[in-house]
């Protein structure tokens, strides 16, 4: 992972561990990360879903929603 992707991933996991999900988590990442891009967020969300430390179902659903939403936005 590159430094920028690692930064987005770290902020995403921090938000998940503090109980954020969905739009609140998206807002937290966009405001907390200076190297934010939709592509990086999508990749970081996919990495977070495959992380064995992530076990909260609601958080995983929120991250999945972010990943699919960002992927659909970038497709247009």
Containing structural domain, residue 37: 3-75
pLDDT in tens, 18-30: 888 878 888 999 8
Question: Any idea what DSSP says for residue 18?
Answer: T
Total number of domains in the chain: 1
Instruction: Give the model's pLDDT for residue 37.
Output: 85
* Average confidence score pLDDT of the chain: 84
CA–CA gap between residue 10 and residue 35 (Å, rounded) = 12
CA–CA gap between residue 51 and residue 41 (Å, rounded) = 15
pLDDT at 51 over 90: no
What is the band of 75 on the pLDDT scale with cuts at 50, 70, 90?
low
Instruction: Give the model's pLDDT for residue 32.
Output: 93
The predicted model gives 34-40 an average pLDDT of: 85
């Amino acid at each position: 992972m590159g430094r920028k992707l690692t930064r987005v991933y770290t902020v995403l996991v921090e938000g998940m561990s503090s109980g954020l999900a969905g739009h609140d988590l998206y807002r937290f990442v966009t405001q907390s990360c200076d190297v934010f891009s939709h592509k990086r967020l999508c990749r970081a969300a996919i990495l977070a879903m495959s992380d064995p430390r992530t076990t909260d179902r609601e958080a995983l659903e929120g991250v999945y929603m972010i990943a699919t939403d960002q992927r659909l936005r970038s497709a247009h």
